[in-house]
Structure 1
């Protein structure tokens, strides 16, 4: 195969494989090193809980501060696990299940299964056992998967309630004593330029995708991705390494190109990610919507969408659970920066059945930043939020504290430099999902 053909194939492999590499690398981080913001290293099949909403100490990009996170990395190679979900008494929560390929394959919670106490058995693929009558079953498409829990927290006074729910959210093996495989580890002798491919090779084999994707993977044989046993990337020929590295860089550029704003987008328009997570075409467990409206029609196109989602919103929800909107510039088309002040006037607040919020993140890290009032999001649950007589609400986004008391009540502090806002709408209504509700642009002042 010519160098040009190798480069093109490696670029396709990056688009196809970057989600599993990103996702399982994050799984490994949770298990081996932990995350910032009070999330210590935690073994498989055990929950780790944030004890406060996301802050600048939280390392997860674009983390939300509306809810307290609960994470569990599942290893089902040793058998199924039992999940106990406590009664939240009507309060919003969601437990989102994500497989190794970043497919959202099940949701439990207020929207999907209600808020009463629940018991579930989570099984590996092709499990042939029998569950007891008092539990419901979720089949994981891969033996390693992730549970992302989000429990709404309405400020410090509400924190004890949420911490108690987290304490009673538990996992236990169906049959103790199982042997667990964990994540295969890459050979340390593989050169840095090819470690992505080595991880992809190992994890593709350990966590097979759906049958149609297995067929697609066959085209990557010339890259060594289907090799078993000893790594093909040990002691490789320099020209081969150069071609593969160049192709991987091209694939990364392809993904980056689709994560930015469209060139023909009107100034200040919000990009609403209604279908960013519709790449799951094969696995529809409890709480998922399997209709055509929520599935990408073209499987090849779904690979690029999946890569973009893993790049910008790893482990994000389908829009029917929570809809996210973001913008990169103001009404005049200028990049958003803390050097300016902006208003966001909502003539009518977002139509939701749970709640909505606005959060800002610095760039390029997409992290929360410190501010003098410790406010990292603003929305319908913000104490003292000032509404107009007509029901509208005008939010003020700027770095410095406003002098007007009403503006201070509606102030969302921004980073000093460039930033990106995200509007989150939990349990969005039809007007959000059909696109008829539109957010206005940020107006510079």
Structure 2
């Protein structure tokens, strides 16, 4: 049967799961058509697809970050709302299955979170003295998802101090009393505090440390009048369906608060050729059918590349991918948009390798997918071969589909080194964890990590990994490797 071009296009569009059902023809507000009018070398259909693909890869971390910021500090009706900009929120508990704004969330350390608005003036962050035995970390992450600085046990020590965070355009002088200045690459920035919890009874001590985290504008720190307030922003509401329809419109919005760097010049120039960029308003639903198809196919191709780099990231060590999940600053990524997108999709806001390493296991030691509906598993650390860290380590289990923590009958989402005194070691001093959906019995319950009746994956976190042998560093090349996950039935 002969298939017309229009019928072919409609059929192809129906296969793009990230986009909604489309009808209609050309629209005069087509952003790509408007961009073509201003270009001497307007992109053809194939090039439009290629630009959309690269743009999706480039923009995914930026849009994901905006989604988290919107949920945490803009939408007061969000179940994930924490606090307004420049106000710290101290969470007096660890993350559970009810926390859904961030994928692969850390459930080791009670979080304190802070979203900075640096448009008006810099912000001073103050930390208290923290006892030497307790690990804490303050990670500074900009709207590009670059980690541009650290305060804490590893980076600055456990002594008290005042630190200045400035926006990309700030040109002032460092005030007296400030230990260090950190420059964000964007006007809005996340500050993520991690404070070690030794056990449930330790929560009051964590709260005392959290109470010492202080935030104030530079003018208040200097006892000077505050500068005029920044203009009010009409933040576009965000949800998963809106992102599917208008991904690039959200990217347009976020880019206006992120001054371009030399390494971004090429990709931003390409995006401008199809009507995407800071201050623009790319509306997918106003594209003509042919442009819809090419942009949609480009986004789909970009998504496939991101999934592929996640799957192939790092080195295979007994079924664990080691070295594939690592955060860093702009210089670390050096314009590698695919690596940045893969990290964001696998676990946004990951630490630098020096701060934490994240071996990821989606398969057992034989390469078979982890599936709690079919099998039980064990993970055994040999005596004297626990993860080598200066702080602590943990093994956390996540749902294979949602990438979130899983509701379970004992409210246990991980096993970590602070739990060792209450766990049972084998006669030879090794530690075996029982990873399965049903209880392994009273004798093994202390070592049970509940799994879902479905696929899952494990994330091994090594906080402040040791640099001397045995070590997991450098990433993927270290002398210590995680043991394989064994299927027992």
* 1:409 matched residue in structure 2: 446
Q: Alpha-carbon deviation of 1:182?
A: 6.8
User: After alignment, is 221-230 or 303-312 more displaced?
Assistant: 221-230
Number of residue pairs the alignment of both structures matches: 425
- Closer, same or farther in 2 for the Cα pair 1:442/1:186, shift >3 Å? same
- Indicate conservation of the 8 Å contact 1:194/1:245, yes or no: no
**1:433 alignment counterpart:** 473
Match status 1:391 vs 2:429: yes
Alignment of 1:9-408 (within 5 A): 9-33=51-75, 40-59=81-100, 60-90=102-132, 91-136=134-179, 137-175=181-219, 176=226, 178-181=228-231, 185-186=235-236, 195-226=246-277, 228=279, 235-260=286-311, 268-273=318-323, 276-278=326-328, 280-282=329-331, 295-296=332-333, 299-300=334-335, 302-339=336-373, 340-347=375-382, 348-382=385-419, 383-403=421-441, 405=443, 407-408=444-445
Is residue 145–residue 349 contact of structure 2 (8 Å, CA) maintained in 1? Answer: yes
Displacement of 1:203 in angstroms is 2.1
Distance 1:227 1:237, change over 3 A: farther
Cα distance change on mapping 1:262 and 1:17 into 2, 3 Å: closer
Structure 1 pair 414/234, CA: closer, same or farther in 2 (3 Å)? closer
1:248-272 CA distance string (max 9 Å, x none): 2221222122222579957x51011
Could you say which residue in structure 1 is the equivalent of 2:8?
none
**CA distance in 2 between partners of 1:157 and 1:237 (Å):** 61
SS at match of 2:294: helix
Q: From the CA coordinates, give the structure whose radius of gyration is larger.
A: 2
- SS of the aligned residue for 1:223 comes to coil
On the 8 A contact 1:35/1:58 being kept in 2, the answer is no
C-alpha displacement of 1:387: 2.5
Post-superposition shift, 1:404? 5.3
Tell me if the contact between 2:139 and 2:192 (Cα under 8 Å) persists in the aligned partners. yes
Deviation at 1:229, TM superposition (A): 5.6
Instruction: State the 1:208 CA deviation.
Output: 1.6
Change (3 A) 1:262 1:236: closer
The 3-state SS of whatever aligns with 1:381 is helix
Measure the CA separation in 1 of the matches of 2:404 and 2:243.
27
Q: 3-state SS of the aligned residue for 2:483?
A: coil
Query: TM-score w.r.t. structure 2 length?
Result: 0.80
Structure 1 residue 246, shift from structure 2 partner: 2.2
Q: Distance in 2 between matches of 1:41 and 1:33?
A: 9
* Secondary structure of 1:126 counterpart: coil
Classify 1:119/1:329 alpha carbon distance in 2 versus 1 (closer, same or farther; 3 Å).
same
Deviation at 1:35, TM superposition (A): 9.6
Q: Conserved in 2, the CA contact under 8 Å of 1:186 and 1:195? A: no
- Note the C-alpha offset of 1:241: 2.8
Alpha-carbon separation, structure 2, partners of 1:184 and 1:23: 17
- Provide, for residues 196-237 of structure 1, a one-character-per-residue CA deviation record: whole Å limited to 9, x for no partner: 112212322331232221344212222112474665768443
C-alpha separation between the residues in 1 aligned to 2:123 and 2:313? 44
- Cα offset for 1:173? 1.3
Deviation at 1:243, TM superposition (A): 2.1
Give ranges in structure 2 of 5+ residues lacking alignment.
1-42, 220-225
Question: Once the two structures are superposed, what CA deviation does each residue of 1:57-97 show, in whole Å capped at 9, x if it has no partner?
Answer: 11122112110011111110011111111112121010100
Aligned mates of 1:264, 1:123 — CA distance in 2: 37
Please identify, of 230-239 and 92-101, the stretch whose mean Cα deviation from structure 2 is larger: 230-239
Deviations 1:385-441 (A, max 9, x none): 222354321111111112252x22222111221111111111111211132211121
